[in-house]
Amino acid sequence: MAQIGTDVQKAKDFLEAGKVIGLPTETVYGLAGNALNPDAVLDIFKVKNRPSFDPLIVHTDSIDKVESFVTRIPEPARRLAERFWPGPLTILLPKKPIIPDLVTSGLENVAIRIPNHPMALKLLALLDFPLAAPSANPFGYISPTTARHVADQLGDQIPYVLDGGSSTVGIESTIIGFVEGGPIVYRLGGMTLEKLESIVGKVSVRSHSTSNPKAPGMLSSHYAPRKPLFLKTPEQALATHKPERIGVLAFDAMTRLIPLENQQILSVTGDVSEAAKNLFAALRALDQSNVDVIIADLLPETGLGRAVNDRLRRAAFK
């Protein structure tokens, strides 16, 4: 079983030895390995059981380092980086050959971000290589927001989880790229469209792909619990299930129709940012409870509500 601890030097030693570890970030915990070491990258895919056609995000701690991994940073991308890094924003940039094709699934662009987490930044500053780090969960399952989540899911396959507390954003980073037609968001996430548009103007959103995604996190079925999740009202769910067999993931209010112990409220004040922070932990609690199905509310389509709704739609039972 993986050791959980706060020893940054120990994490560094494992990474330099080609191992993969659990890494705290402000979005979710990552499964991190040396992005320049194809063997370590391959281990990430193996541990997650992630398909090799789904590219990874590369993490580092400075824009200067980013410039050593990419051929150029377009002017609007640089403006976003200077404004929002460190932070929950990933930018697609044309890669140099130093980045293995395995990291990008053969694509010309590499997804890069600087995480806004003090422990992650301290570790990255000590390393002479960037870290490839998708979410530290089995592929397609609920993303982890604590070190214990990582250890419970992957602890028999990795040696160490660096414990940086609960993730403060709670959903993955927003991914943006640039084409001749302008900026495109490939994954909704912890950076709102409103903030992006305040820097680069109107952005388009292309957040789903059934195969050969252009960026990480684009697959149309993802972030799902083991138990079926439906975007239904309690009344609709009661037509086919007993109240005690239904779990409720609600935005801001309980329902009297389902036992209270089967309900998780994302934000009693109706705050979409708080709801985003609590999403994966609440979904995990319901998945581990004694219910047969989970029903969920969609949030208002504003701010981080869009990203939460994106996760819920992709987690919903097909």
Q: Which residues carry a binding-site annotation for ATP?
A: 50, 59, 135, 143, 187, 223
Token pair, residue 223, equals 């972030």
Per the annotation, binding residues for L-threonine are 27, 113, 133, 173
Euclidean distance between CA atoms 94 and 110, whole angstroms? 6
Total residues belonging to the chain: 318
Pairing of strands 160-162, 30-34: unpaired
DSSP assignments along 58-119, one per residue: EE-S-HHHHTTTBS---HHHHHHHHHH-SSSEEEEEEBPTTS-HHHHTT-SEEEEE----HH
50 near 139, Cβ under 8 Å?
yes
Q: Which residues are annotated as a binding site?
A: 27, 50, 59, 113, 133, 135, 143, 173, 187, 223
Backbone angles phi, psi at 179, to 5 degrees: -125, 180
Give the Cα separation of 193 and 176 in Å (integer). Answer: 10
